[in-house]
């Protein structure tokens, strides 16, 4: 749910970034069979995005906290999209608790 300049500053490994304003037009890029976790820098976009995706039939959840909380929990941000390719994982809200 992050803007391109935010995404370039660091991303969760394996993340597909779709800026919030592009979500409606890019739904076809998402697999309805896989769970989706929304995340943004401050939490203002990820909640509405999760609600929208759920209404559209996706199994969606929000990453608890912000991206900075992800880093504080000891998880890494990758600096480029190329660095994040091939690293897929699942996590839930309790992973950051």
Please tell me the predicted confidence (pLDDT) of residue 5: 58
Whole-number pLDDT of residue 28: 92
**pLDDT under 50 in the chain at which residues?**
81-97
Note the helical H segments in the chain.
4-8, 46-55, 67-72, 81-84
CATH code of the region 4-80: 3.40.250.10
Q: Where are the domains of the chain?
A: 4-80
pTM above 0.85, yes or no: no
pLDDT of residue 8: 67
How many CB atoms sit inside 10 A of residue 68's CB?
A: 11
């Amino acid at each position: 749910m992050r803007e391109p300049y935010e995404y370039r500053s660091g991303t969760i490994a394996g993340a597909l970034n779709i800026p919030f304003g592009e979500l409606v037009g890019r739904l076809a890029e998402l697999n309805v069979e896989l769970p989706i976790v929304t995340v943004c820098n401050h939490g203002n976009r990820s909640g509405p995005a999760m609600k929208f995706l759920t209404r559209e039939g996706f199994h969606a959840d929000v990453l608890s906290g912000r991206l900075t909380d992800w880093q504080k929990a000891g998880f890494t941000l990758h600096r480029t999209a190329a660095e994040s390719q091939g690293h897929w994982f699942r996590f839930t809200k309790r992973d950051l608790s």
